[in-house]
Structure 1
Amino acid sequence: MVAKDGQTPRERYRAQVRAEIKEHAWEQIAASGAPGMSLNAIAKRMGMSGPALYRYFAGRDELITELIRDAYGSLADAFRAAAASGADLRGLGSALRAWALADPQRYFLVYGTPVPGYHAPDDVTAIAREIMTTLLDAARPAEGPTDGPAEGPDGADPLESHLAQHRQWAAGHPADPAALRRALSFWARLHGVLSLELAGHFTGMGFDPAVLYDAELDRLAHAVP
């Protein structure tokens, strides 16, 4: 028998069990980080044997991959929705912060310390590239006061000159070096603020991290590459 959603009862049950396994995995990650995630502990929590759980995920790496895929996918969805509504660089920055604050553990899984020995499969890498492509599309000159790059002795911006020759991370995007610089600055500076905030490093310093983030975003949004 197939339900209206196209799934058989067996398929629906399998999906429900996999979702529950992922929920317990997130709980473990929140408590002790990705390296502390244990499939056997999850199985015990669910009243299953270890071998039974392995019918749903072949191993720890497959489960981590699924969690990373979900995390990147949710950020890609947020960026996609923002871009579809006409969001500029500032809009993407706001979407990034909202996504990060909604689930810090999800954020740290993909933008924190890399999981030892883990290598993302091609489809996960493709989602990460889509996120960067959306950012590069928005990394165009903006009107208003500028926070322009420093020029080298020959009048060229050193970082732009470097990125013109080292653009593998842009995955073939046709952005010029100035846009590459702007996108990379956006990614590095905003993730720096978010990582410190979510890790609690601003606690007790007496200022609002949201104001710092907004100030960084404002400088980036009004910088002319």
Structure 2
Amino acid sequence: MSDRTMSRRDRLRAQTAAEIKSIALELMAAGGPDAISLRAIAREMGMTAGAIYSYFATRDDLVSTLIGELYTELVDAAEAARDTVPAADPGGRILAWAQTVREWALANPEGFRLIYGDPVPGYRPPEESPAREAEHRACTGLTGLVAAAWPEAGRHAGGGDYDWSAFDPGLATDVQAAFPGLPPAAVALTLRVWGRMHGLVALEIYGHLRMLTHSPAAIYRDEMIGLIASLGLSPPARDPSTAV
């Protein structure tokens, strides 16, 4: 069998796998996470159940692949946006990360729901997976944003006293290795920053802002500017395109 034939076969297989994943997200959009089913996808594609199982052995394998790819795509986008802003501008890097998360979520609402919102009934994520790796990158990236801002943020953000026992041991170990000397209070602040970044995005994705405002982008940016100011950082200049 020639390399050319194998290459064509590989391309066809990749296209079919991509279609399977796309239909899974369409089914979720229409019927929620319960609707993700290999048999339902096979019916939509005109495939036999046996044929689709040659791509994904179980529904959980498909869900794990979806979450891993989507989460990795999100983190790639957030890191790329962050890195367009100079390291000397921690407030600007926080805003770039946050706005990219919102933009990605709006472009991929089912993906956002699958990663952060709607649990798939009966799904058990594997201990080692691309999704775990992406989650680690997201956590490390956010902690890095806080670490860069910590000289000011630590004095302005407020909060209680923490020790490492307040956090998952794996998270504590990872943070201490990546950011030596960063105190546990900075990890608590990272979680608070994450909550403020994702709170309005979740309300928007789940439709709770639809009837309340025509300017969700401006409200989100103002929330992020407020977050940045609360950390004692200089907020970026207002973008006229997001004005109310």
TM-score between both structures, scaled by the size of structure 1: 0.84
Q: Separation in 2 of the partners of 1:109 and 1:92?
A: 20
Give the corresponding residue for 2:149: 141
Pairs within 5 Å for 1:40-119: 40-86=39-85, 88-119=93-124
Matches within 5 A, 1:196-215: 196-206=203-213, 208-215=215-222
- The gaps in structure 1 that reach 5 residues or longer are 151-156
Aligned CA-pair RMSD: 2.6
Distance 2:206 2:137 in 1: 26
For residues 154 and 132 of structure 2, the distance between their equivalents in structure 1, rounded to whole angstroms, comes to 33
- The SS at the match of 1:162 is coil
Q: Give the Å deviation of 1:146.
A: 10
**Compared with structure 1, are the counterparts of its residues 138 and 200 closer, same or farther at alpha carbon in structure 2 (3 Å cutoff)?**
same
Match of 1:28 in 2: 27
* 1:85-129 CA-partner distances (Å, limit 9, x unpaired): 236111111111111111111111001032233232312212111
Q: Distance in 2 between matches of 1:7 and 1:178?
A: 54
Q: 2:38, 2:52 within 8 Å by CA — same for their partners in 1?
A: yes
Letter in 2 for 1:33: G
Cα pair 1:101 1:198 within 8 Å, conserved: yes
SS at match of 2:18: helix
- Provide the C-alpha distance between the structure 2 equivalents of 1:180 and 1:20, rounded to a whole number of angstroms: 39
Say if 1:109 and 1:40 are closer, same or farther in 2 by CA, change over 3 A. same
Counting aligned pairs with the same residue, the percent is 34
Deviations 1:176-218 (A, max 9, x none): 2343233211211221111111111112224522222112211
Q: Give structure 2 stretches of 5+ with no counterpart.
A: 86-91, 233-244
Matched positions, count: 215
Q: Which residue of 1 aligns with 2:174?
A: 172
Question: How far apart, CA to CA, are the structure 1 residues paired with 2:150 and 2:215?
Answer: 26
Conservation of the 8 A alpha-carbon contact between 1:93 and 1:217: yes
